[in-house]
Amino acid sequence: MSAHIDGSERRPTGGILALSLPYQIVAAVALAALAVLACLHLAMVFLHVAPSNTLTKQHGQAVDDWIYPEFEQNWKLFAPNPLQQNISLQVRAQVAGPGGSHVTNWIDLTAQDAEDIRGNVFPSHAQQNLLRRAVDWYGTAHDDEGRPKGTRGRLSEEYMRRIVLLRIEGPGARADVGGKVERIQLRRVSRPVPAPHWSDEKNSTQSSARVMPWWDITDADRARTETSR
């Protein structure tokens, strides 16, 4: 064991051991908390994607509260018939102005993400998946008449309003509409992907659009949006 000339032991010069004892305790507790949080998250994701079992039957609501909306999972890539459509989301807003309210033209939010991704070697997860997964979640959480299916449906609407407000109102908005947004309306446009030239598959390439109802924007929506900025 090496020692200084005065006989004292050499103190470690790096890592947690280089800290004083109180800071070592704080660092150890923080690392332990992060490890527990990571294990809890992995367990919740596993229960979310696993087949129905005793735990999910008893604690399914707690799992859903943890997962939705940010961590939702899906397996469409491995489905027998994978998704074969290009889906884009467009929005228009009723905006309060000096001369009264007016309605904007349709703004293509998906095109904004495509522009950010094109030519980007390392596009972010949000640019690639945030809007796409929100649209997919909204669709599965509503029935054919557009009515929300319980809590998941209402949560998906709040999530969509938060994403849209971040894009069209306030500092940093990609398409600032220039005023206070009173209401928004979304339009989901589906464009089937043509079959490759070597395939015998025949599918329609006719695009279709589904217009969602107008949503009022409340102070609560803005508060959630400000928290996300």
- In whole angstroms, how far apart are CA 63 and each of 41, 44, 55, 149? 10, 6, 10, 17
Residue 87 has pLDDT above 60, yes or no: yes
Domain borders along the chain are: 16-67, 83-228
CB-neighbour burial class of residue 168 (10 A; exposed 0-12, middle 13-18, buried 19+): buried
| Cis peptide, bond prior to residue 69, ω within 30 of zero | yes
Which residue reads 């200084």 in tokens? 4
pLDDT tens digits along 174-206 = 888 888 999 999 999 988 888 777 877 777 778
- Band (pLDDT 50/70/90 cuts) for residue 2 is very low
Q: How high does pLDDT run on average in the chain?
A: 83
* Side-chain half-sphere exposure of 54, counting CA atoms within 13 A: 0
Residue 35 has pLDDT above 90, yes or no: yes
pLDDT at 11: 55
* pTM score, whole prediction: 0.63
pLDDT tens digits along 147-163 = 888 888 899 999 999 99
CA 199 to chain centre: 35
